[in-house]
Structure 1
């Protein structure tokens, strides 16, 4: 597959080798293949790895399918894919409630990853998971469309450069905006659940902003500084306001877990364009 990137206006001058290794995180093995096969061009001319690149340069790479390993997934139903944003390198979709982000077994065929694989099949592109949502949660999920961009998106996730804003409807009245800073760990008595664990848990921070008080319930926005399993669900339950419909952390019946990944903000790893993906409709 051929990939062409125009280096953005704020690109620092560096060698092609530095660009591939440090900016684009191309593995050593793949850099070796690119060099020996002479499959890198700068401004449509064969490139040398010590050559300087700068803003406005056009860099073209040819990546072979065998350069990266890939665990194939069975194709699902492309009609279940609601695209919020898509380009050559990434796709952001609105996950429906009630399906998993990715399969846990190779024969599974009804997860979001399966459906995105089916959607991308006509262009012979494979999706790669960047982050996940719980099965009961709906909203924006980011996938890489090639292994080339995957480690860059992974680094952005680790460095908190992906801004995600969630909607939730909780029981009771929350009177003021607040930040919940409580460590989260595993529940030794129920492997499905997480608990507040000040001694052995991992750091977790959730910012809660009130959108509307409804009397019996409150609409809130949540933004995470960390990405622990069930973080929003556990944190809101810990302050006495569990999410409506949560099957694990409250007892009252409701049609669904009222938690939705409404927005995803990021800077595109190659164009440096600021992207905002919104998953409609939201909870309100």
Structure 2
């Protein structure tokens, strides 16, 4: 595998070592192989790790087969993929509701990851999971297209620099126009499928809610996440007695064709090119 990245104008002068270790989070073992094999090029010439690089330089990394573990993914249906944005390093797609983000068993073939593997196969690329959407949730989701950008995207997610906005319709009327739910989430003691508010052992979870419209006995809202816990929006809204309509786990008595939750938009700054990426995943729930 070979990657070439032209450093964007915002790049400050730094050493090759600092670029690979601090900016691009290349693992120590892989950095060692790149250095000893002389597999780092600057503007098509071999470069030493103590040398400097700056904006406009083209950095080429040449990886051997044993540098990274390559996952085995059974290809699914390439035609099912709805691409929202794509380049050589990452891809954002529009996930349909009712489909898993990734398989739970190696032999599964019907997840979004399987379909994406089929879509990328002609390009000799493999998808890597950065974050996930529940099976019942639709909308924008980002995948890495190589193992190099994967940890950098993970850092953006941790530092809340991948902004995700959701829309939902919940049971009941919500009076407050804007509010934040800050309640830790943990596993349900008796049902492995579910999550619960757990103030003692739960993981930090923060959801910002904006009311869009009140209907007869329901409310349309938008949510923005500071964290990405499993079922976060669903559990948080159920905890304030406004569960999402159509939720089979947290609002089983409601009637809808599907869970009324959609990841409507996703924004981030590209880790390598520093391009601003802003995608909309249509159709929206409320169209």
TM above 0.5, yes or no, is yes
Match of 2:229 in 1: 228
Match of 1:15 in 2: 15
Structure 2, unaligned runs of 5 or more: none
Q: Distance in 2 between matches of 1:30 and 1:231?
A: 35
Match of 1:136 in 2: 136
SS state at 1:223 partner: strand
Of residues 232, 243, 256 in structure 1, which corresponds to 2:258?
Answer: 256
Of residues 256, 264, 281 in structure 2, which corresponds to 1:279?
Answer: 281
Cα drift, residue 32 of structure 1: 2.2
Q: Give RMSD over aligned pairs.
A: 1.2
Q: Distance in 2 between matches of 1:278 and 1:65?
A: 36
- 151-160 or 28-37, which deviates more: 28-37
Match of 1:49 in 2: 49
Cα drift, residue 48 of structure 1: 1.1
TM-score normalised by length of structure 1: 0.97
Q: Distance in 2 between matches of 1:201 and 1:145?
A: 32
Cα drift, residue 189 of structure 1: 2.0
Moved >6 Å (runs of 4+):
none
Q: Distance in 1 between matches of 2:32 and 2:200?
A: 46
SS state at 1:118 partner: helix
Match of 1:218 in 2: 219
Cα drift, residue 123 of structure 1: 0.7
**Cα deviation per residue 1:154-208 (whole Å; 9 max; x = unaligned)?**
1111121111000101111112221111222221121211112223322211100
SS state at 1:257 partner: coil
Match of 1:148 in 2: 148
Q: Distance in 2 between matches of 1:162 and 1:249?
A: 27
When the two structures are aligned, how many residues end up with a matched partner? 284
- 160-169 or 61-70, which deviates more: 61-70
Q: Distance in 1 between matches of 2:25 and 2:19?
A: 8
Q: 1:101 to 1:58 in 2, by over 3 A?
A: same
Match of 2:108 in 1: 108
Match of 2:123 in 1: 123
Q: Distance in 1 between matches of 2:228 and 2:100?
A: 17
TM-score normalised by length of structure 2: 0.96
1:75 paired to 2:68: no
**Cα deviation per residue 1:4-52 (whole Å; 9 max; x = unaligned)?**
1111222122110111111111112222222233222112222111111
SS state at 1:41 partner: strand
SS state at 1:220 partner: strand
Q: Distance in 1 between matches of 2:256 and 2:31?
A: 53
SS state at 1:65 partner: coil
SS state at 1:66 partner: coil
Match of 1:174 in 2: 174
Q: Distance in 2 between matches of 1:98 and 1:9?
A: 42
